[in-house]
A and B are shown apart, each in its own frame.
Chain A
Amino acid sequence: MTTEAAIKTDSNFQDADAFYECLLDAHQGLSREQSELLNARLILILANQIGDSAVLQACIAGARDAPAR
């Protein structure tokens, strides 16, 4: 479980702008609470697409260790 896995840090998107727009649109009209639920669901669905424990751990570490702003 402690195997070091590298996360993709270069763009892997087919269309980064389209994804970003789609994500923002999905949150439109939602309250803060509804948005949080959507985000949580989305994380769980995406995590299941990845599946690999080492990659998931590296993704979480990558998100946690990113600078605050």
Chain B
Amino acid sequence: MLETPAYAPTAFTNGYEFTQGTGYTLPEYPFVAPPELNSKQIRRHPIVIVGGGITGLSLACALARYGVAAVLLDEDNSVGVKGASSRGICYTQKSLEVFHRLGIYERIAAKGVQWSVGRTFAGDDEVYSFDLRQQSNFNLSTQPPFINIQQFYIEGYLVERIHELGHVDLRWKSRVTAFTQNAEVATLTVETPAGSYQIEAEHVIDASGSHTPFHDWVGATMQNKRGDDRWCIADVRFSTHPPVERHTWIEAPFNENRAVWQHLMADDVWRIDYQMAPNADPDAVSREDVVRERLQRQFGKEVEVEIVWVGPYAYRSRCLDQLRVGRVFFMGDTAKIVSPFGARGGNTGVADADNLAWKLAAVLRGRASATLLESYNAERLEAAQQNVQVTNRTARFLRPADGMERGFRTAAISLARQYPFARSLVNTGRMAVANTYTRSSICDSTGGQSVQNVAFRWADGAQGAINDLLQWAGGDLLVLVFGELPAASLRRLKQLAQHAPVRSVQVLGPDDRAQAREHVRDINVQGTGHVRGACHAVGHTWALVRPDGYLAATGKAVDGQLVAAVEKTLGLR
């Protein structure tokens, strides 16, 4: 329960700063003195990750799965935010597919909440609603469109999974206080409860969040945007439950005609997010009596409410001009900051991590050129810029400038009640997607899209999915060839696998004859499968899929074109 409030100033953080509440008891991890503390010799590590949030831990877990050693430094000794509740709550299909590969999806699915119906209101009326189960673009994957769950649960599962896998040294209570880099190596000074030490790193990944000191240390440049929009979250439990749906009000009568979000998550906790007056005082809007009065106006006096957590926040947007400076790679909130609309923060952090992990693994295992790492910047900067643009548009719809901007919003909402076309203008957040890469040096013009984790049948009839094939490829590239092939093509595939880090699988239709030892059938419970469609390879013979479940290229004949695509994808061309 809220007690005497002691509020921190909250201006311009994109995080949900804790104020007061019953909150959660988060796991605590022990500080273990690293060998460097008792040694004069400075050790050099191939990879040092700074920050153990959802992004840093996803990267660490992905590297561990590839068997690549790394050190992760986190200044805290827990997941989540100390004393606070949750930051992100909504995880998209692509993130869930990544978590499936990392081996924590089943736990997320068991703990989290699935939802598919969303309703948008203005005033007392529903403007429109949608049911994601009716949208065919989500049906291909074996993962659902979304799962809502508190971010710290995922972080906790990742920590436990990393311990299971080994390879990554998680160092808690380890704050980086200084950094230098040169052509040969980067050097970090780390402060711990048992003293300070220095370590060297060949690659440094900054996943330390929006307050990172690395931007100044490396002289990173960026684009910033700030507004006057203010929000206040109340994470609550109810005596009677609202429907298991996402509700958004653009103009809520119970919130002085400002916006309200009503989302559900694990443990029967609901996130009610209220838009406040522009430049509202965070102390005033998050006082217990004010929060309770607001909840009562929305849910009625008779509903008992337990407040789990309250957090006022303001947001900004920020995007670095380059996601790599020397030996430092920026990802998650150090790469870009977006408003929370559409769950484009955490989910893109996971995608950043998954993008760099296989590239680092391929380079460090000597299977790709070091220039492959440059493609991280090209691909994830494009994604970051797109996500910043999309979220800024939502922010502008939700907090229109007085005058014409508000006028057009009123017009759009009034039309949306009657005409379906106008619903596409009502922007309460565009849910995060797997961004397509259109200007990557390692993707062919036929590639760059995400491949959904679709189901197929193994040779023995058991069900499998694309992720199983990626797992089997173990960080190498995956060539899927569709249908029956000429003998010469089979020979060439064999040769390719002998000379390049590539595994190939023949994907057969229901009646095709198996020619390769590794083959699967593109059939599922409904009949004909969707593997070829998911690979965007209709009319093509092969698809080259990367370890991060992205398509590198497709082609018609198993010839020099495939060899060239493999080389390009590994940064060798």
Contact surface of A with B, Cβ cutoff 8 Å: 36-37, 40-41, 43-45, 48
Top 9 A-B residue pairs of the complex, sorted by shortest distance between their CB atoms: A40-B411, A41-B411, A48-B421, A40-B408, A40-B407, A36-B407, A41-B415, A44-B411, A37-B411
Chain B residues near A36: list those with CB within 8 A: 407
B422 contacts the other chain (CB 8 A):
yes
- Complex-state Cα separation, A51 to B562, whole angstroms: 39
Residues in A whose Cβ lies below 8 Å from that of B515: none
Contact B422 A44 (CB under 8 A): yes
Would B415 and A44 count as touching, CB distance under 8 A?
Answer: yes
State in angstroms the CA–CA spacing of A37 and B411 once bound together.
6
Check B425 for interface membership: any CB of A closer than 8 A. yes
Q: What are 22 inter-chain pairs, A to B, with CB distance below 8 A? A: A36-B407, A37-B407, A37-B410, A37-B411, A37-B414, A40-B404, A40-B407, A40-B408, A40-B410, A40-B411, A41-B411, A41-B414, A41-B415, A43-B408, A43-B411, A44-B408, A44-B411, A44-B412, A44-B415, A44-B422, A44-B425, A48-B422
- Which size bracket describes the interface of B in this complex? 10 to 19
Cα A36 to Cα B411 with chains together (Å): 9
Interface SS, A side: helix
Tell me if B's interface is mostly helix, strand, loop or mixed: helix
Those of B393-451 within 8 Å (CB) of chain A: 404, 407-408, 410-412, 414-415, 419, 421-422, 425
Chain A: which residue is nearest B425 at the CB level? Answer: A44
- Chain A residue at minimal CB-CB distance from B410: A37
Tell me the complex Cα distance, A36–B407, Å.
7
Distance from A35 Cβ to chain B, minimum over Cβ atoms (Å) = 11
- Which residues of B have CB within 8 Å of A43? 408, 411
CB closest chain-A residue, reference B420: A48
A67→B407 CA distance, assembly (Å): 24
Q: Return B137 CB to nearest CB of chain A, in Å.
A: 21
Query: A34 to B415, alpha carbons, bound, how many Å?
Result: 14
Determine the chain B residues whose CB is within 8 A of the CB of A44 once the complex forms.
408, 411-412, 415, 422, 425
Which single residue of chain A is at the shortest CB-CB distance from B403?
Answer: A36
Chain A residues near B408 (CB, 8 Å)?
Answer: 40, 43-44
Complexed CA–CA distance, A59 and B30 (Å): 63
Q: Given the complex, which residues of A lie within 8 Å of B419, measured CB to CB?
A: 45
CA distance A21 to B304 in the complex (A): 59
State in angstroms the CA–CA spacing of A40 and B413 once bound together. 11
Cα of A43 to Cα of B186 in the assembled complex, Å = 56
| Chain A neighbourhood of B414, CB < 8 A | 37, 41
CB-CB nearest in chain A for B419: A45
A36 to B178, CA, bound (A): 57
Contacts of A48 on B, CB cut-off 8 Å? Answer: 421-422
Question: What's the nearest-Cβ distance from chain B to residue A1, in Å?
Answer: 12
Minimal beta-carbon separation of B61 from chain A (angstroms): 38
The interface centre, meaning the residue of B411, B412, B422 with most chain A CB atoms within 10 A of its CB, is B411
Q: Mark B480-510, 1 if CB is under 8 A from A, else 0.
A: 0000000000000000000000000000000
Residues of B within 8 A of A41 (CB): 411, 414-415
Min C-beta distance of A61 to chain B, whole Å: 17
Chain A: minimal CB distance from B123 (Å):
15
A9 to B320, CA, bound (A): 42
Q: How far is the CA of A44 from the CA of B410 in the complex (A)?
A: 11
